[in-house]
Amino acid sequence: MLATLLRQHRDSIAARWTERLCQLQGSRYGQCAPEELLQWSTSAIDAIARSRDAGVEELEAHARVMAGEREAQGFEVDEVIEGLLLLGDTVLPYVAGAAGDSPALAVGMMRELGADMRVMAAQFARLFAESKRRTAEQVAVLEERQRLARDLHDSVSQSLYGVSMWAEAAARLLEGGQIEEAAANLRDARNSATEALREMRFLIFELRPSILHEDGLVGALRARLSGVEERVGLRAVLRAEGIGRLPFVIEEALYGIAREALNNSLRHAHATRLDVRLQVSSDAVVMEVADNGVGFNVASTGGGGLGLGGMRERAERIGASLSVDSAPRRGTAVRVRAPLAAAGPQQAATPEKAVPSS
């Protein structure tokens, strides 16, 4: 009955609906041409009528197209849904006229229309939310690449400049017959070149597309250790005890903390060995990143040095506790305990075995 009514009065319903859309105060609908709004209204009414026969998929397909068009024009989801809700008031007089002396028939048709509108509204909300999330991710990727570009300029360029300076000094010393002094300068040049190569390996790895989504926390850590730390001569061991896929919000936070800890070990600790351990229980996952480097006085950093502030922010987002144990000449260990309950049910996966990172 509802489909018949919509088809029979489609043009007049679309015209009245368009008129009401144009009157919305402070809405982007008021900035659209009436002819364009009339086309949108007509296509929505047709989709609702078709869905009475073809099923809810018809409405969802229409909503996908409509949501994409409205978002591209700068509409917010609440504006789109507000415009959709006007259809109920617009159709009511036609329903009342068709139902005649049968209030039950009118109520039934309005309930059908309301159900269809809820399907479309839910689809709009979901699609807009997904688009916002994708946009936020793209912005985050762009910001990260800009940060890495700055790091590339600041660290690698500085190291390469050092290589050039040491090499020039060595050449002058060799011309003057000062062999030992020249050799010392060449050793300094070699050290600067090694540092530049280490930074380049790190930055090249960071510029790769994230594998966290595809391979999870264990896979991402294994790729990082084999692609960066092991290639610059550190012995890196990853022990993953019973870890499958975790809720992504936890994997993302833990990987960010591990990456910061590994960067510190790579750049500052002069370590020869790294141990990364992951262990999961029924209610929490524990991660520890430890090195045998020079260590530092944690109190002297004021809580914010060496990226500790960023680590703590990531831990706080998932309700995790974070501790840093270090002292001069005793190495450093960063430990995180993240509750699983805060991120929802753990995703099922085949547990990983404890294996070296390579």
Distance CA 324, CA 333 (A): 6
Interval 183-238: pLDDT, tens: 888 888 887 777 777 666 666 666 555 678 888 899 989 988 988 888 778 899 99
The helix or strand, by DSSP H or E, that contains position 335, with its residue range, turns out to be strand 332-339
Distance CA 39, CA 354 (A): 61
pLDDT tops 90 at residue 100: no
Over residues 263-282, mean pLDDT: 90
The CATH code of domain 215-358 reads 3.30.565.10
Are the beta carbons of 353 and 316 closer than 8 angstroms?
A: no
Distance CA 30, CA 23 (A): 7
- Supply the pTM of this predicted model: 0.48
Per-residue confidence (pLDDT) for residue 133, from 0 to 100: 75
pLDDT more than 90, % of the chain: 18
What is the helix, strand, coil percentage profile of the chain, to 5?
70, 10, 20
Joined tokens for residue 293 = 């480097």
Q: Domain ranges in the chain?
A: 2-136, 215-358
Question: What HEC string does 92-117 produce?
Answer: HHHHHHHHCCCHHHHHHHHHHHHHHH
SS3 (DSSP) at 142: helix
Joined tokens for residue 143 = 């910001």
Q: What is the CA radius of gyration of the chain?
A: 31
Per-residue confidence (pLDDT) for residue 348, from 0 to 100: 35
CATH of 2-136 given 3.30.750.24, 1.10.490.70, 1.10.10.10, 1.25.40.80: 1.10.490.70
Distance CA 280, CA 340 (A): 9
Amino acid residing at 335 = R
Per-residue confidence (pLDDT) for residue 306, from 0 to 100: 60
Are the beta carbons of 339 and 283 closer than 8 angstroms?
A: yes
Joined tokens for residue 100 = 């005649």
Residue predicted with more confidence, 351 or 337: 337
At 239, phi and psi to the nearest 5?
-115, 115
Residue predicted with more confidence, 351 or 120: 120
Please list the residues that pair with 240 across neighbouring strands. 278
pLDDT tops 70 at residue 357: no
Contacts of 58 (CB under 8 A, 6+ apart): 47, 50, 51
Over residues 100-126, mean pLDDT: 81
Distance CA 77, CA 124 (A): 7
Question: What is the 8-class DSSP label of residue 154?
Answer: I
Per-residue confidence (pLDDT) for residue 207, from 0 to 100: 58
Joined tokens for residue 183 = 């050799």
Interval 275-308: pLDDT, tens: 999 999 888 999 999 999 999 888 776 555 567 8
Interval 115-148: pLDDT, tens: 887 888 887 788 777 777 777 766 766 776 676 6
Per-residue confidence (pLDDT) for residue 302, from 0 to 100: 56
Interval 35-87: pLDDT, tens: 888 988 898 888 888 888 778 787 888 888 888 788 777 888 778 888 888 88
Angle (nearest 5°) at CA 175 between 172 and 178: 85
Distance CA 305, CA 324 (A): 12
Question: What is the 8-class DSSP label of residue 318?
Answer: T
Average pLDDT, the chain: 81
* Residue 213 burial class via C-beta count within 10 angstroms: exposed 0-12, middle 13-18, buried 19 and up: exposed
Distance CA 231, CA 239 (A): 19
Residue predicted with more confidence, 53 or 327: 327
pLDDT tops 80 at residue 264: yes
pLDDT tier at 351 (50, 70, 90 boundaries)?
Answer: very low
